[in-house]
């Protein structure tokens, strides 16, 4: 880590030489990842890199150049390149100029315990987990990563912003001769992860995944564990709640704000201040993050905006702008579904006949974005629930469903929510839900 | 070159460490330029330069990898030490040591073919065809988003190993595409050219982009997008299905390319991308497709983005069959995995950048055209009642690459050998070996084209790779089709 003082000093030294309005965004740090299969590490990597984005402004024209060299001369060359590009562009009538000094609501995103968890300590944890699974005749696959990054923004209007962040992610895929299961944890603070509890959860689920039967396609009550909803929310971030989806008319919220699209028990929002899943307090334009309600008790309330898309939509930016030069527009980075009042155990025990899905796989949300129609497979454990008990393991199923329809038929939501990473710098925070009439359209077979 | 000597020295130091049996280093410099024009604006325009190196070490049969952009003598030494420390940590869990094949170390150079350097073309000249195409797409108010995108890449690579490999490569890649999004009420339809999700790409210069004909095809694309708004939905049922070349490229990619990656087959992607139904016991005897199905991995085709001189562990580019006359006969391999099937690597290890470790990736995975195969018109004329689908819209396949569902942008019903009504929201689904066994016709050489895909994802940390697929349209009997739910 370079540190706040040195990073901002570097950026300001470059800004002293720039020929016109300029914004500099520095993103970078250290990432380490250990990967394993068959209870053995097979890939173990570390990398360190920083990127400086130069956003050069010429009236309403913007040019962006990036470099991963951190000396003043190299960044200054990128500045010249960016200004040269800006001059050759048509004006963007919606670009409101660079933001001036701003203040931010603090968010605790950096925990020194995380980057200190080096390759030896990760291997030690894994040895213990591999041994535990081995007691049951099972093997373990997965990955365990830690990262520390810093993000700094400075511009010629006097804006300065800095935030360090850490993240730890671990996944245990426990495999037997017949089946597999998975348990994941994600936290900015590695010390909050209980590795053995996670492993034991995956081991106990793997023991249930045997003698799989095929379920015929049709409509079923489903219990979707949090990992399933995380996949769905990742797609909705792009196809529904982002500024570009909204402005282009693809999103189901476009032209339909204030209308009901989901059941009264569904509220979806974006917040950088959820305990356990903190986000950056500003976006890549230095705009302070706002908490944004996207769906409130089933009613379409809004989407997120950066400065340019907000001008186009004649509204205020919400602090969700992406890195300079990105054509994606604003995207929610810390997407949350509001909790309910059940527990996952209560949800299973209240289910007369249904399918418990632990994970979705290879979801695609481009089928019909106006209906949030998606398809995907189940993975890492699919079970039949009868009279409140898991009774059989099932072969993986293909599902094809409108998420608007599914989220209109939610019968139970858990209190507890689980965080998953989103787009490298954000998170999704989602509960377990029970949905009636969910459509399975095929089965995995050879 | 000072950097090269520094990296060589780091490898020599590693080789002297007890327990180190192999090490290599890749140094990369990459420049990219990305332009997105959306409606009347430049929605994205950036130039990027990145340089750095990654060091891979094998310590007593366990891997370590560290990468850095710090090229100072101390930075390089520190990165090498880090790679070794990581390898020693990996060794703590070792059950089976890694053994590399006996590919001889290569010394050589490679440069991709290029007539016109895309980085030397002025920005104004690059923006002009994008704005021209977008203006044509926007001529109907129902096109709410008209987009044109261009990306160019230049990668200079140096590969050195403790075995004596010394390879320099320079690869320039270019590509572009356009997309029209038509919206009317609750109906949204999309049409793209030359194909969806960023267009078509080649390892060639700006001459490739000049030849794409973006503006020339914009009117047709706009009219098709508008027509889809009021088209009938694709009927549900079992139909004979003809896939146009661009959709077939994705079908080959997902249902043959990925499942023949030997690292997947051996389980190293099981926690992310998944496994494969093409298990080792099937090699040489499994009927993957009908007798007319021949699929080849070929990294030697000049100008394709799946081509190179040497892969990222220094193995020369090669051509080898994956499926021959419908039988599974090969995998995509690496120096680590090839010995498992008693072979030498066929050169498929590729890394997205200097800070990624190489993984087994697709090269050009091509469905060969049928000798004396029909033209697309002849194939349509030979089909009594079927559906023709073109250009991918959605994609999903299970973790073993068996159950797939693909959606396309556009389809036409075929009745009595003629293209009949336009159909919207076409989707088809199937089981991979059943699907390829139902292939009863592949068009000939005149219809065969290589499609460059710049966005193949795999691995943790996730890596995006440029791959390509040569295809000619083909027909599949009795496939389940529909229009979603």
pLDDT tens-digit series, residues A367-402: 999 999 999 999 999 999 999 999 999 999 999 999
- CB-based contact B433 A446, cutoff 8 Å: yes
Structure tokens at A183: 């348990």
> Do A313 and A226 share a structural domain?
yes
Q: Is B277 on the interface with A (CB under 8 A)?
A: yes
Q: Do A39 and B93 touch (CB under 8 A)?
A: yes
Shared domain for A195 and A251, answered yes or no, is: no
Maximal CA-CA distance, chain B: 73
Are the beta carbons of A82 and B47 separated by less than 8 Å?
A: yes
> Which pLDDT belongs to residue A284?
97
Last residue of a domain, one of B204, B230, B256: B230
Task: Pick the last residue of a domain from A190, A206, A222.
Answer: A206
d(CA A405, CA A403): 5
For residue A212, which residues of chain B lie inside 8 Å, CB to CB? none
Crossing angle, helix B214-229 and helix B123-137, to 10 degrees?
30
CA distance B141 to B137: 9
- Residue matched to tokens 């497979």: A377
Residues of A (184-223) whose Cβ lies below 8 Å from B: none
Question: Which pTM does this prediction carry?
Answer: 0.97
DSSP A215-241: PPSEEEEEEE-HHHHHHHHHHHHHHTS
Q: What is the pLDDT of residue A423?
A: 84
* Beta carbons of A381 and A393 less than 8 angstroms apart: yes
Give CA separation, B109 vs B7, B23, B265, B293, B340, in Å: 18, 20, 32, 35, 29
In a shared domain, residues A202 and A226: no
Chain A residues 36-75 within an 8 A CB cutoff of chain B: 36-51, 53, 62-69
CA dihedral A356→A359→A363→A368, nearest 10 degrees, is: 30
Q: How far is CA B63 from CA A42, A139, A155, A334, B162, in A?
A: 7, 20, 43, 35, 15
Q: Are residues A74 and A184 in the same domain?
A: yes
Same-domain pairing of A222 and A174:
no
Window B:99-138, CB contacts with A under 8 Å: 122-124, 127, 131
CA distance A298 to A303: 14
Of the residues A145, A362, A369, A379, the best mutation for testing chain B's interface (the one with the most B CB atoms within 10 Å of its CB) is: A362
Q: Are residues B50 and B78 in the same domain?
A: yes
Q: Which of A33, A90, A367 has its CB closest to that of B461? A: A33
- For residues A323 and A172, give the distance between their C-alpha atoms in angstroms, rounded to a whole number: 32
Q: Does residue B180 sit in the same domain as residue B296?
A: no
Looking at the fold, whether A103 and A246 belong to one and the same domain comes out as no
Q: How far is CA B308 from the centre of its chain?
A: 13
Measured CA distances, B115 to B121, B129, B131, B173, B313 (Å): 12, 19, 24, 12, 28
Optimal mutation site among B26, B88, B178, B403, interface A, most CBs of chain A within 10 A: B403
Do B239 and B316 belong together in one domain? yes
Looking at the complex, report in whole angstroms how far the Cα of residue B410 sits from the nearest Cα belonging to chain A. Answer: 12
Contact status of B97 with chain A (Cβ, < 8 Å): no
Residue B201: the pLDDT is 98
Q: Are B234 and B480 in contact (CB under 8 A)?
A: no
Q: Do A249 and B181 touch (CB under 8 A)?
A: yes
- Are A161 and A66 in the same domain? yes
CATH number at residue B193: 3.30.2290.10
Can you read off the two tokens belonging to residue B58?
Answer: 């094998």
What pLDDT digit, counting tens, does each position of A201-247 carry? 999 999 999 999 999 999 999 999 999 999 999 999 999 999 999 99
Q: Are residue A190 and residue A225 in the same domain, yes or no?
A: no
A443 vs B: CB within 8 A = yes
Q: What distance lies between CA A13 and its chain's CA centroid?
A: 34
Do residues A400 and A217 lie in contact, with contact meaning Cβ atoms separated by under 8 Å?
Answer: no
Domain span holding position B459 = 233-482
Q: How many domains does chain A have?
A: 2
Predicted pLDDT at B448 = 98
Average pLDDT of the residues in B57-74: 97
Task: Decide if A35 and B460 are in contact by the 8 Å CB cutoff.
Answer: yes
The pairing of strands A292-296 and A139-155 is: unpaired
- Measured distance CA(A273)–CA(A279) in Å, rounded: 6
Phi/psi region, residue B39 (left: phi>0; alpha: psi -120 to 50; beta: rest), is left
A window 346-365, beta carbon within 8 A of B: 361-365
CA distance A33 to A357: 28
Q: Which residue carries 């739910």 as its tokens?
A: B485
Task: Phi first, then psi: give them for residue A15, nearest 5 degrees.
Answer: -60, -25
> Using CB atoms, which residue from A37, A93, A363 is nearest to B270?
A37
* pLDDT in the model for residue B485: 62
The string of pLDDT tens digits covering residues A343-371 is 999 999 999 999 999 999 999 999 999 99
Q: Would you say B395 and B254 are in contact if contact means Cβ atoms under 8 Å apart?
A: yes
Distances, alpha carbon B250 to alpha carbons B368, B375, B395, B407, B450, in Å: 15, 20, 9, 11, 12
The distance of Cα B111 from the centroid of its chain, to the nearest Å, equals 20
Using the Cβ of B227 and the Cβ atoms of chain A, whether some distance falls under 8 Å is answered with no
Number of domains in chain B: 2
How many interchain CB pairs under 8 A, A with B? 262
Q: What are the angstrom distances between the C-alpha of A445 and each of A211, A394, A396, B265, B270?
A: 14, 12, 8, 17, 18
Domain end call among B172, B196, B230: B230
Asked if B67's CB is within 8 angstroms of A45's CB, the reply is yes
In B133-152, the residues whose Cβ lies within 8 Å of chain A are: 144-145, 149
In B, which residues are within 8 Å of A185 by CB distance? none
B111-162 pLDDT tens trace = 999 999 999 999 999 999 999 999 999 999 999 999 999 999 999 999 999 9
In chain A, what residues touch B86 (CB-CB under 8 Å)? 32, 44-46, 119
Chosen domain end from A179, A206, A233: A206
pLDDT value at residue B484? 75
Residues 31-70 of B with CB under 8 A from A: 34, 36, 38, 40-52, 54, 62-70
Answer for the pair A209, A181: CB distance below 8 angstroms, yes or no.
Answer: yes
Residues A140 and A226 in one domain: no
Using 50 as the pLDDT threshold, list the residues of chain A that sit under it. none
Confirm if B412 and B235 have CB atoms less than 8 A apart: no
Domain span at residue A90? 4-206
Mean pLDDT, chain A, rounded, equals 97
- Give the end of a domain, one of B230, B254, B288: B230
Residues 6+ apart with CB under 8 A from B114: B172, B204, B205, B207
How far apart CA B147 and CA B199 sit, in angstroms, is 11
Indicate the residue among A156, A174, A206 that finishes a domain: A206
* pLDDT value of position A326: 82
- Confidence class of residue B223 from pLDDT cuts 50, 70 and 90? very high
CB contact under 8 A, A42 and B183: no
Q: Is B223 on the interface with A (CB under 8 A)?
A: no
**How far A35 CA lies from chain B's nearest CA (Å)?**
8
Q: Is B187 in Cβ contact with A370 (below 8 Å)?
A: yes
Q: Using 50, 70 and 90 to split pLDDT, how confident is the model at B465?
A: very high
- C-beta atoms of B95 and A47 within 8 A: no
Q: In this complex, do A33 and B267 lie within 8 Å of one another by their Cβ atoms?
A: no
Same domain, yes or no: B294 and B161: no
The 10s digit of each residue's pLDDT in A250-263 is 999 999 999 999 99
Strands A218-224 and A353-368: parallel
Q: Which residue of A has its CA nearest to B95?
A: A40
DSSP state of B362: -
Residue pair B123/A62 in contact by the 8 Å Cβ criterion: no
Same domain for A162 and A219, yes or no, is: no
Closest listed residue to residue B401, CA positions, set B176, B291, B251: B251
Kindly report the length of chain A.
446
CB nearest to A88's CB, from B66, B124, B396: B124
Q: Are residues B205 and B224 in the same domain?
A: yes
Is B1 a residue whose pLDDT tops 70?
Answer: no
Query: For residues A176 and A185, what is the distance between their CA atoms, to the nearest angstrom?
Result: 21
- Does one domain contain both A396 and A252? yes
Which residues, 6 or more positions from A412, have their beta carbon under 8 angstroms from its beta carbon?
A340, A342, A346, A347, A350, A433, A434
Are B135 and B279 within one domain? no
Confidence at residue A415, expressed as pLDDT on a 0 to 100 scale? 98
Q: Which of B90, B334, B354 is the best mutation test for A, with the most CBs of A within 10 A?
A: B90
User: Do residues B198 and B302 both lie within one domain?
Assistant: no
Residue B187 and residue B78 share a domain: yes
- The 3-state DSSP class for residue A250 equals coil
State whether residue B339 sits within 8 Å of chain A by CB: no
| pLDDT tens, position by position, B313-327 | 999 999 999 999 999
Preferred mutation among B270, B353, B397, B434 to probe A, highest tally of A CBs within 10 A? B270
Residues B40, A180: C-beta atoms closer than 8 Å: no
Same domain (yes/no): A215, A162: no
Distances (CA, A) of A233 to A181, B197, B471, B485: 22, 21, 35, 20
């Amino acid at each position: 880590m370079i540190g706040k003082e040195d990073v901002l000093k570097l950026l300001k030294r470059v800004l002293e030489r720039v020929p016109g309005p300029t914004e500099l965004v520095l993103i970078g740090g250290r990432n380490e990842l250990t990967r394993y299969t068959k209870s053995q590490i097979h890939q173990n990597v570390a990398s360190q890199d920083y990127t400086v984005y130069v956003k050069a402004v010429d009236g309403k024209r913007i040019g962006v150049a990036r470099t991963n060299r951190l000396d003043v001369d190299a960044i200054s060359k990128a500045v010249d390149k960016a200004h040269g590009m800006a001059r050759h562009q048509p004006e963007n009538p919606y670009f409101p100029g660079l933001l001036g000094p701003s203040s931010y609501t603090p968010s605790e995103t950096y925990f020194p315990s995380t980057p200190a968890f080096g390759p030896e300590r990760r291997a030690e944890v894994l040895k213990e987990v591999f041994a535990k699974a081995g007691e049951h005749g099972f093997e373990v696959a997965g990955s365990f990563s830690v990262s520390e990054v810093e993000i700094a923004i400075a511009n010629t209007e006097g804006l300065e912003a800095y935030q360090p962040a850490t993240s730890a992610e671990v996944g245990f895929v426990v495999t037997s001769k017949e089946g597999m299961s998975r348990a994941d944890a994600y936290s900015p603070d590695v010390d909050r992860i209980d590795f053995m509890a996670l492993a034991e959860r995956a081991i106990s689920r793997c023991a249930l995944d045997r003698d799989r039967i095929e379920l015929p396609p049709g409509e079923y009550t489903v219990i979707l564990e949090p990992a399933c909803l995380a996949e769905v929310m990742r797609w909705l971030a792009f196809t529904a709640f982002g500024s570009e989806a909204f402005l282009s008319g693809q999103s189901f919220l476009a032209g339909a704000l204030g209308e009901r699209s989901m059941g009264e028990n569904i509220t979806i929002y974006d917040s950088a201040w959820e305990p356990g899943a903190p986000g950056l307090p500003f976006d890549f334009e230095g705009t302070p993050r706002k908490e944004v309600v996207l769906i409130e008790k089933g009613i379409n309330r809004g989407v997120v905006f950066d400065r340019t898309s907000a001008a186009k939509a004649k509204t205020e930016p919400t602090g969700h702008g992406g890195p300079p030069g990105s054509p994606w527009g604003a995207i929610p980075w810390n997407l949350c579904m509001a909790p309910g009042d059940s527990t996952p155990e209560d949800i299973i025990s209240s289910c007369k006949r249904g399918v418990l899905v632990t994970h979705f796989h290879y979801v695609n949300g481009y089928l019909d974005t106006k209906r949030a129609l998606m398809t995907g497979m189940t993975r890492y454990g699919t079970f039949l629930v009868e009279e409140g008990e898991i009774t059989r393991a099932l072969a993986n199923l293909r599902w094809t469903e409108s998420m608007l329809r599914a989220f209109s038929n939610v019968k139970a939501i858990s209190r507890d929510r689980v965080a998953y990473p989103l787009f490298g710098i954000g998170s999704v925070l989602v509960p377990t839900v029970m949905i009636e009439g969910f459509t399975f359209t095929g089965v995995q077979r050879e | 070159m000072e950097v090269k000597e520094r990296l060589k020295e780091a490898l020599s130091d590693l080789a002297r460490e007890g327990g180190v049996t192999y090490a290599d280093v890749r140094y990369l410099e990459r420049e990219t330029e990305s332009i997105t024009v959306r409606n009347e604006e430049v929605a994205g325009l950036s130039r990027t330069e990145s340089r750095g190196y990654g060091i891979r070490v094998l310590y007593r049969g366990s891997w370590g990898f560290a990468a850095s952009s710090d090229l100072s003598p101390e930075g390089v030494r520190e990165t090498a030490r880090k790679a070794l420390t990581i390898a020693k940590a990996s060794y703590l869990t070792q059950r089976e040591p890694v053994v590399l094949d006996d590919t001889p170390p290569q010394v050589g150079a490679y440069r991709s073919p290029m007539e016109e350097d895309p980085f030397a073309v002025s920005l104004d000249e690059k923006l002009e065809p994008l704005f021209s195409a977008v203006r044509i797409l926007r001529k109907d108010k129902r096109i709410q988003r008209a987009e044109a995108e261009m990306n160019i890449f230049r990668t200079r690579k140096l590969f050195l190993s403790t075995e004596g490999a010394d390879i320099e490569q320079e690869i320039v890649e270019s590509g572009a595409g356009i997309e029209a999004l038509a919206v009317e009420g609750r109906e949204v339809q999309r049409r793209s050219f030359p194909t969806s999700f960023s267009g078509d790409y080649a390892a060639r210069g700006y001459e490739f982009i000049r030849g794409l004909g973006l503006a020339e095809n914009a009117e047709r694309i706009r009219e098709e997008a508008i027509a889809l708004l009021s088209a009938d939905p694709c009927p549900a049922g079992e139909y004979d299905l003809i896939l146009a070349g661009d959709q077939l490229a994705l079908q080959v990619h997902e249902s043959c390319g990925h499942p023949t990656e030997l690292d997947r087959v051996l389980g190293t992607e099981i926690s992310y991308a998944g496994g494969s139904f093409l298990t080792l016991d099937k090699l040489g005897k499994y009927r993957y497709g009908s007798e007319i199905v021949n699929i080849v991995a070929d990294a030697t085709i000049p100008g394709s983005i799946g081509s190179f001189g040497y892969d990222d562990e220094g193995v020369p580019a090669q051509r080898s069959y994956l499926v021959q006359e419908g039988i599974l006969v090969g995998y995509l391999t690496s120096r680590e995995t090839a010995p498992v099937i008693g072979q030498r690597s066929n050169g498929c290890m590729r890394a997205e950048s200097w800070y990624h470790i190489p993984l087994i990736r697709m090269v050009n995975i091509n469905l060969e055209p049928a000798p004396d195969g029909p033209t697309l018109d002849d194939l349509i004329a030979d089909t009594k009642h079927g559906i023709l689908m073109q250009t991918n819209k959605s994609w999903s396949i299970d973790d073993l690459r068996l159950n797939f569902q693909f959606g396309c942008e556009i389809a036409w019903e075929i009745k009595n050998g003629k293209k009949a009504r336009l159909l919207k929201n076409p989707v088809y689904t199937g089981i991979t070996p059943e699907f390829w066994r139902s292939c009863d016709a592949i068009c000939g050489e005149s219809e065969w084209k290589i499609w460059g895909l710049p966005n193949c994802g795999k691995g943790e940390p996730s890596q995006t790779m440029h791959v390509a697929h040569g295809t000619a349209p083909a027909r599949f009997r009795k496939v389940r089709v529909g229009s979603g739910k």
